[in-house]
Amino acid sequence: MEEVQTRKPFFDRVMASTPGGNTLLGCLQCGTCGGSCPSGPDMDATPRKLFAMARANMEEDVLLSNAPWYCVSCYYCTVRCPQEIPITDLMYTFKRMAIESGHYNAESHADFSQSFCGYIEHYGRSFEFGLATRYHLTHHPLQMVRKTGLGFQMIQKGRLNTAPDRIHDMPQLTAILTEAKRIATEDEL
Amino acid sequence: MSQEHNAYGYYPGCSLKATAHAYGDSTERVAEVLGLTLNEVADWNCCGATEYMSLSAIPAYSLIARNLSLAAAQGHQEMISPCSACYLNLRKANDSMAKYPALNEKVNRALGAGGLHYDPNSLHIRHLLDMMVEDVGYETIAEHVTKPLSGLKVACYYGCLIVRPRTDGYNPEYPMHLDRLMQTLGAKVVDFPLKTHCCGGHMTQISEETAFELIRRLLHNAADYGADMIVTVCPMCQLNLDAYQPQVNAMFGTNYEIPILFFTQLMGLAFGIPAREVGMGAEITSAAPALGKIGHEEMEPARPKRRDKKSLPMPQP
């Protein structure tokens, strides 16, 4: 893909990749989003600031921000935004663009999402036991002892299955996701 | 939306088969008592939780839409989801496909690769709590109460996704329908200002510092108002507040022991269903002392069945 010359500005791509994203043009910079955010204190830039940066096409700075990765998807910002901007959905867009461009912050949790989705693509269902062991062994090996204690309790109470559930028609789901991924690459720009 | 029929399509979601089996068990038993038929959508798949949308949008919507398509093809007009995250995803896919024709076209092209199709809005997606209060109604629920929860003080915790981002009648920051339901069961509902604040979501897995502070605030708020327990409508909220409570105590030097139960478990107890049948004992922070207040005996934890008495409990193929 010889995209460099034909690529639209970052801000346009952000809006185009988000259903309802063009409402971003009406951002008042009021800061209600950041003020409503439960993980605001952990973010290096609030959503308000990220939107100003996006509007200035500061692509790399936006994608390297840790803010989207601290979004807990609680939608407080979205329901409180006076301009009805789908802020939570824009955080997902920033995450997707960061993963696609490989430009993400060390604090990002892209591989958590990727591991989680890997199991869905294999079994059609989530698999918490596999996710917990794989992700935590690579990321927090020192916390594993504590987590293992909880894991045993969960297994004992029948709350953690050690073998994954699977759906019957995996070939159908695979066909759908394969086609969906193809469609996603053909028109993202 | 109260209709003549009392049969619904049912999308339990992955959590109800594992971490929240108490929610699944109690939902089934309560539905039975109320004469509701919940028909599980055959071969449903994971909704993608809060993760798939971070990777790629069209596949994320297509993953969700397979469920919508299957449910509609299986003859359902309404689909009930007890999990708030599933509810949000299912509804969001439907609503976005209805609102954005380009998205609808792409998702249906992907579905077509699996021989499926979905017409947006052919399915009405609802959360279990909404169905209980809107279709069954407070009066009918009250008629089934044989053991009122008198003397039990509960904090009603809605979490985020059942009330946001929807804007169709329920207050997105201070809803009251779970409060009214609990009062109908005879419980005393305490004020709970943080009732729609976040439980931390997936942050318990990736940033404990972020998640545990959010959990601490919720526990602190419920304790401040004298709640014996927190009642929830979401598997994620239950897991975070219940299973991580000891770790939150360790991090902040607190000693909360607030049980976190699903609203259907309390409906079951109030309907006189034996505690074990509504998944009591599956919680990490024991509800036994709180339930002692309403005359329920302490429960042995529900253990999974051994599939074969002789073999070791190894993963099954």
Contacts of A158 in chain B (CB under 8 A): 21, 282, 302-304
ipTM computed for the complex: 0.90
Query: How far apart, in whole angstroms, are the C-alpha atoms of residue B25 and residue B186?
Result: 22
Q: With 60 as the cut, is the pLDDT of residue B307 above it?
A: no
B106 touches chain A (CB under 8 A): yes
Q: A159–B19: do the CB atoms touch at under 8 Å? A: yes
pLDDT category at B310 given cuts 50, 70, 90 is: low
Q: What's the whole-number mean pLDDT along residues B221-249?
A: 97
pLDDT at B299: 54
Per-residue model confidence as pLDDT tens digits over A131-185:
877 777 777 776 666 777 888 899 899 998 888 889 999 999 999 999 999 999 8
Task: Report the distance separating Cα B111 and Cα A178, nearest Å.
Answer: 10
The CATH 3.40.50.11810 domain(s) of chain B lie at 145-292
Greatest CA separation for chain A: 58
> Averaged over B58-63, what is the pLDDT?
96
Interface subset of B 19-38, CB within 8 angstroms of A: 19-21
B81-104 confidence digits (pLDDT tens): 999 999 999 999 999 999 999 999
The stretches in chain A having pLDDT less than 50 are 189
Which domains, ranges and CATH numbers included, belong to chain A? 10-107 (1.10.1060.10), 110-185 (no CATH)
Which chain A residues are Cβ-neighbours of B209 within 8 angstroms? 42
Q: Measure CA of the first residue to CA of the last residue in chain B; give whole Å.
A: 43
- Distance, in Å, from the CA atom of B171 to the CA atom of B183, rounded to the nearest integer, reads 19
Question: With contacts defined as CB-CB under 8 Å, which chain A residues touch B116?
Answer: 172, 176
Q: Check residue A3 and give its pLDDT.
A: 53
Give the bridge partners for B154, in sequence order. Answer: B189, B229
Burial class (CB in 10 A: 0-12, 13-18, 19+), A131: middle
The class of domain B145-292 in CATH terms is alpha beta
- Give me the percent of chain B exceeding a pLDDT of 70: 91
User: Is residue B4 scored above 50 in pLDDT?
Assistant: no
Asked whether the predicted pLDDT for residue B147 surpasses 60, the reply is yes
Model confidence band, residue B1 (pLDDT cutoffs 50, 70, 90): very low
Instruction: Return the pLDDT at A147.
Output: 74
Between chain A and chain B, the number of residue pairs with CB atoms below 8 A apart is 206
Cβ neighbour number for residue B150 with a 10 Å cutoff: 13
Separation CA B219–CA B249 (nearest Å): 10
CA pair distance B185, B226, nearest whole angstrom = 19
DSSP character string of A144-173? HHHHHHHHHHHHHTT-S-SS----S-HHHH
Region(s) of chain B under CATH 1.20.1050.140? 7-127
A145 in contact with B, Cβ within 8 Å: no
Predicted confidence at residue B314, as pLDDT, reads 54
Shortest Cα distance, chain B CAs vs residue A72, angstroms: 6
Burial of A171 (0-12, 13-18, 19+ CB in 10 A): exposed
User: CA B120 from chain center: how many Å?
Assistant: 24
Helix (H, G, I), strand (E, B) or coil at A120: helix
Read off the pLDDT of each residue in B233-256 and give the average, rounded to a whole number.
97
What is the average per-residue pLDDT within B1-16?
80
Give the per-residue pLDDT at B154.
98
The CA distance from A90 to the nearest CA of chain B, in Å, is 10
CATH number for B7-127 (one of 1.20.1050.140, 3.30.70.380, 1.20.140.10, 1.10.30.50): it is 1.20.1050.140
Dihedral pair phi/psi, residue B260, rounded to 5°: -120, 110
pLDDT at B301: 52
Answer for the pair B286, B296: CB distance below 8 angstroms, yes or no.
no
Rounded to whole angstroms, how far apart are CA atoms A75 and A71? Answer: 9
